[in-house]
Amino acid sequence: AIRTSFVHSSFSGAVLEDAHLSGADFSRALLDGAVLRQADLESAVLREASLRDADLRGASLRSCDCAGSDLSGAYLWKADISFASFEHAVVTSRTVMENGRYGSPEWARRHQAVFDETVALGASPEKMSVPSPLPVNKIEQRIEYGVALDESGSLPYDIYQFRLLKKSVRSWNRMREEQPGAGIRLAGVDVSRKMLDSANLQDADLQNALFRDTDLSYALLMRSDLRNADFREADLTQADLSGADLRGAYLWRANLSWAVLDGVVVDRSTVLDTGHNATAQWAEEHKAVFHEGI
């Protein structure tokens, strides 16, 4: 069979979501940051291709030849890698594997890949500013759900709420149902690359929170304080953000498909999914509120 050839081609940052690319030859191609969610790459050739920070969530890599490819920071959650070859492919502690876990030496050994230990977990400094250290919580054992902020010293978030959210969305949502009046204080938390789909985060303090590459599909974020939150490359498909405060938020390359944006507050410092700053015209088109500010 004749393969479609993209050998040595550059697709950096390209949006190829749901693309039918089965059998295509991407040998030594540049696919850094490409969006390949749900793409059909069955039996494709990705030998020595650069897939750094590529989004391959839910993609079909069945029988795909990924030998020698660079998967540093790639996101393969729920991808089908049945019968795929990863011989000498590079994975790191920033790579999210098909099982939702970060890349590890064990995974690399099982797939004859190479684990690069020189790459630290988290975003590279050239792509993202490092947030200021959070204040030390000296009384964390005394903080309970819903304790008012003025009763908890300088702690910017509720440590118990943070741990519960990271542990289980199901348990988190059950807590929200059982304690509807509890104040949600998660300002400054880092939940990047977490699976928070359908999480109930409405009416929450989420200022400066990090949601990079986080799955927030179907999440409830109504009326939440999301000022200066980082949603870079987050999945907000069908999320409800109505009435949320997005002033200063960063949404570059976030997936806002079918998201509810009625009444969200934006200003000139809000960076949209397109990479452009929010404008009064954008707000009008999306039934949002544009805050002029100073």
**Domains defined for the chain, CATH in brackets:** 1-121 (2.160.20.80), 183-294 (2.160.20.80)
User: For residues 222 and 68, what is the distance between their CA atoms, to the nearest angstrom?
Assistant: 44
User: For residues 267 and 156, what is the distance between their CA atoms, to the nearest angstrom?
Assistant: 24
Beta partners for 205?
185, 225
* Residue 38, CB-side half-sphere exposure with 13 Å CA sphere: 3
Instruction: Name the pTM for this structure.
Output: 0.51
Q: What is the pLDDT along the chain (294 residues), one digit of tens a residue?
A: 456 899 999 999 888 888 899 999 999 999 998 989 889 999 999 999 999 989 898 899 999 999 999 999 898 988 999 999 999 999 998 888 888 788 899 999 999 999 997 754 433 333 333 333 333 333 333 344 444 444 444 557 888 899 899 989 999 999 999 988 888 989 989 999 999 999 999 999 999 999 999 999 999 999 999 999 999 999 999 999 999 999 999 999 999 999 999 999 999 999 999 889 999 999 999 999 999 865
- Residue 147 has which token pair? 């304790």
